Amino acid sequence: MKALVFHGPGKRSWEDVPDPVVQDSTDAVIKVDAVTICGTDLHILKGDVPAVKPGRILGHEAVGTVQSVGDSVTNVAPGDRVLISCITSCARCRFCRESRYSLCTGGGSWILGHLIDGVQAEYVRVPFADTSTYKLPDSVSDEDALLLADILPTSYEIGVLNGRVSPGDVVVVVGAGPVGLAAMTTAKLFGPRQVIAVDPAAQRREAALRHGADVALSPDEDVKAKVLELTDGLGADVTIEAVGIPATFEQCADLVRPGGHIANAGVHGAPVTLHLETLWIKGITITTGLVDTSTTPTLLTMVGSGGLDVGGFITHRFGLQEMDEAYDVFGRADETGALKVALSAG
């Protein structure tokens, strides 16, 4: 089969690799019908995730059709159309029993495209298939389902829920990439007073206004003055960091009100300065983490019923064999306007 293989920082190749097979009784081998590229894949290619070794097939967001399963798999069967979650759950360890699947100690957590071969391929082996895949109803398209693999649960859990967005809040989302936009969309479920997007790219600010933001600001503007104006001089109730660089985290810390919440959803590859000399007295709550995907069933139901509109997130479409072109377009998002790309098989 063909797959996108990581060969060290800055090096990738769409090449022939062996087909995956069932190795353990909990495995499923799945034909990839649709797949996407994550900002985390770009971090890997930059060398920001050293746990990913050369030779690894990348990718952790896909929809596919089950081809074969191990003897212990009972929830899915060959022929089933499924969502492949970005997080794999053993369902047995302490953390999985607490629905903290990202902390799984039984062989799960974020492993696809990280510690084992991922989904940017024609076929993929998925461990713990019963608890790491979801049957898809006909009402959810492949493209909509792709958003449920990572960005929707990430933005909802790590941004909105961790940030404790509440009715009447002012929420600032720094970064209007896919996760930031999804945070704006899902924050609206809680009735905030204002959602403010901050992003340097005009195209992404325009997208933010389509996906839930009431105000979209450039970092070149006096963002703090505008936020203070909208909050009676207090600052935002919740700031969500959705980029993963020091400047954006520090901006979130600067914009939050006393007693507010900073929810860090970005993937950081460099140290960040934490200004405790000013934050310690403000009673700030800072949360971090990798998505657990514990809300995926809820989000899947909402998307399937029309209660959560995710249209417009996919901006560019390719065939699976056009993986290199898709990476190029996604990697130059500031120039191409790409938000999320979808690659479909055959």
Contact 71, 24 (CB under 8 A): no
Q: Can you tell me which residue has the tokens 């074969």? A: 68
Tokens of 186: 């899902």
Q: Can you tell me which residue has the tokens 């006909």? A: 138
pLDDT in tens, the chain (346 residues): 999 999 999 999 999 999 999 999 999 999 999 999 999 999 899 998 999 999 999 999 999 999 999 999 999 999 999 999 999 999 999 999 999 999 999 999 999 999 999 999 999 999 999 999 999 999 999 999 999 999 999 999 999 999 999 999 999 999 999 999 999 999 999 999 999 999 999 999 999 999 999 999 999 999 999 999 999 999 999 999 999 999 999 999 999 999 999 999 998 888 999 999 999 999 999 999 999 999 999 999 999 999 999 989 999 999 999 999 999 999 999 899 999 999 999 7
**Complete domains list, the chain, with CATH:** 2-150+292-344 (3.90.180.10), 153-287 (3.40.50.720)
Q: Where are the alpha helices (DSSP H) in the chain?
A: 39-46, 94-97, 129-132, 142-148, 151-154, 178-187, 202-210, 223-230, 246-255, 276-279, 296-305, 323-331, 333-336
Q: How many CB atoms lie within 10 A of CB 126?
A: 27
Give φ, ψ of 51 to 5 degrees.
-70, -20
